[in-house]
Amino acid sequence: MAAEQDPEGRAAARPLLTDLYQATMALGYWRAGRARDAAEFELFFRRCPFGGAFALAAGLRDCVRFLRAFRLRDADVQFLASVLPPDTDPAFFEHLRSLDCSEVTVRALPEGSLAFPGVPLLQVSGPLLVVQLLETPLLCLVSYASLVATNAARLRLIAGPEKRLLEMGLRRAQGPDGGLTASTYSYLGGFDSSSNVLAGQLRGVPVAGTLAHSFVTSFSGSEVPPDPMLAPAAGEGPGVDLAAKAQVWLEHVCAHLGLGVQEPHPGERAAFVAYALAFPQAFQGLLDSYSVRRSGLPNFLAVALALGELGYRAVGVRLDSGDLLQQAQEIRKVFRAAAAQFQVPWLESVPIAVSNNIDEEALARLAQEGSEVNVIGIGTSVVTCPQQPSLGCVYKLVAVGGQPRMKLTEDPEKQTLPGSKAAFRLLGSDGSLLMDVLQLAEEPAPQAGQELRVWPPGAQEPCTVRPAQVEPLLRLCLQQGQLCEPLPSLAESRALVQLSLSQLSPEHRRLQSPAQYQVVLSERLQALVNSLHARASP
């Protein structure tokens, strides 16, 4: 099967991105004559991450791309032959060479939808040997993507809808693949853009970025631009020496701020001028290379006002150290006063961006009412998910040959739910989410307005619910290896995230000590569980 010919295909996982025991089990299935037994697995998680009450389903696009391209190449088979027993029948390796996913069917939660414990993110069915080999790659593609998307959604909920969130964690990520995944799925979870250029090229994530302290400190002030002239924004009239114009404005700004004209660092000003010459339509100043009040701010104002004379408007300033909330408030006051003093109203609303190890607690402070921060850059806290570094997804066998399979263990949390299943979301008359229901695939779907008897987790008896609306959760996305419908774009899945979160009640949406959302079982599924338990009892 050919891989999709698009830029994202370059980011696809490879078949040997797996654990060795998948290959050893494959040999065992083949040797036992069971390679083509019909089997079904489910991929799910057992607990919501970060102490919250929800997660987001993510990684489906990557899974579909991986499955459609799945094929063991000669080099892959040769390597497996080197790590499996030397007396392995060569016919097994010929079988591996013939494998693809043309007989694999996948049902999934749509990317960006709400996910809850025990509800399958993926249902994967097909020949036993093949779907077993898919376990580790699919877990790898779904688990981290869903974790990062959920983490980003939490940060968006804290920030509120108005603040712009920039993901800038590539340099802190767990390797290149982790960096690309984090940039992609933080955008899906609600961030506005990423600093990661590759995420823009391969995934269409909006990219943003300006300059670092190294750019500012590389200038001493003695540099002479090869071409210091800048034409007016309207394109009419002679060019102006921007450095000279900024020097004139510096005198006015320093007088306004009560500073000596020698106080602002000349190298910083030269850096700002150089950047403004390169990006007159997108000039932004990094203010804290030296002193924000005595250097960064006056130098920025001098260059911004010089640009303003030529019809350009600065797009922002950034802070990367100190008390970000307080400094932003002080800078906004200076902008307002300078706007009035120099009669440039646009200066009042120049966006203020901040960064510097911002976590949930710091973000809540920056997002509070009265904050003058407009843009917030977050790196480590979004890409490394420090509160919980893994979602803990699992991939469990639920049926073979049409017969249910169940893992029975002394740890109740690790017991699995048997059989091929369907999942439904029950909603109230106001559109709010009530609960998710898991039932056997052959059962009739729940009907809106009709009573339904269900079993909550650990309950001794069923309860009755009457939903106003019923939504099927799992969509057929791959049937016998063929894509059933075009996958939504990343931007469309991102929009689904915000719609899904808006349907959660405040009790389930809150980040600290939320009410737990219920996932219940149908009476027939509960009866099957009880029956398999009874058979296993001595």
* Of 11, 56, 60, the residue nearest 478 (C-alpha): 60
The pLDDT of 431-455, averaged and rounded, is 96
C-alpha gyration radius of the chain: 29
Task: Write out the two tokens for 375.
Answer: 């843009």
Contacts of 149 (CB under 8 A, 6+ apart): 56, 58, 112, 185, 186, 188, 189, 497
Spell 312-347 as b/e; 16+ CB within 10 A means b.
bbbbbbbbbeeebbebbeebbebbeebbeeeebeeb
Assess whether pLDDT exceeds 90 at residue 169.
yes
In total, the chain counts a number of residues equal to: 538
The DSSP code for 4 is P
- What pLDDT is stored for residue 3 in this prediction? 43
- Give the E-state strand segments of 247-378 in sequence order: 284-286, 316-319, 352-354, 375-378
pLDDT category, 454, cuts 50, 70, 90?
very high
Asked if 486 contacts 405 with a C-beta cutoff of 8 angstroms, the reply is no
- Per-residue tokens: 508: 């389930």
Contact present, 398 and 417 (Cβ < 8 Å) = yes
Q: How far apart are CA 236 and CA 224, in angstroms?
A: 25
Which of 356-365, 402-411, 448-457 comes out lowest in average pLDDT? 402-411
Which helix (H) or strand (E) segment is 162 a member of? Answer: none
Structure tokens at 134: 């898919």
Q: Give all domains of the chain, ordered by start, each with its CATH number.
A: 7-154+386-533 (3.20.140.10), 208-377 (3.20.20)
Answer whether 82's CB lies under 8 Å from 25's CB: no
- The answer to whether 351 and 327 have CB atoms below 8 angstroms apart is no
Residue range 317-321: average pLDDT? 97
Q: How many CA atoms lie within 13 A of 413 on its CB side?
A: 6
Greatest distance between any 2 Cα atoms in the chain:
95
Average pLDDT over residues 333-362: 97
pLDDT band at 408 (very low <50, low <70, confident <90, very high): confident
pLDDT in tens, 256-271: 999 999 999 999 999 9
Residues 25 and 150: their CA atoms lie apart, in Å, by 33
Contacts of 231 (CB under 8 A, 6+ apart): 237, 238, 239, 240, 310
Task: Say what the pLDDT of residue 393 is.
Answer: 97
Question: How sure is the predictor about 11, in pLDDT bands with cuts at 50, 70 and 90?
Answer: low
pLDDT-based confidence at residue 329 (cuts at 50, 70, 90): very high
Per-residue pLDDT, 414:
85
* Dist. CA 216–CA 212, nearest whole Å: 7
* Average pLDDT rounded to a whole number, residues 99-109: 98
User: Looking at residues 498-526, what average pLDDT do you find?
Assistant: 95
**CA nearest 127: which of 33, 40, 67, 38?**
38
Residues near 423 by Cβ (< 8 Å), separated by ≥ 6? 119, 120, 436, 437, 438, 439, 472, 473, 474
Instruction: Report percent pLDDT > 70 for the chain.
Output: 97
| Cα(467)–Cα(452) distance, integer angstroms | 8
pLDDT confidence of residue 6:
57
The per-residue pLDDT of the chain, averaged, comes to: 95
d(CA 71, CA 329): 57
What average pLDDT does this structure show over 481-487?
94
In the predicted model, is pLDDT for residue 122 greater than 70? Answer: yes
The model's pLDDT over 152-162, given as tens digits with 9 standing for 90+, comes to 999 999 999 99
Q: Is the confidence at residue 7, as pLDDT, over 80?
A: no
SS3 28: helix
Instruction: Say how far apart CA 65 and CA 188 lie, in whole Å.
Output: 18
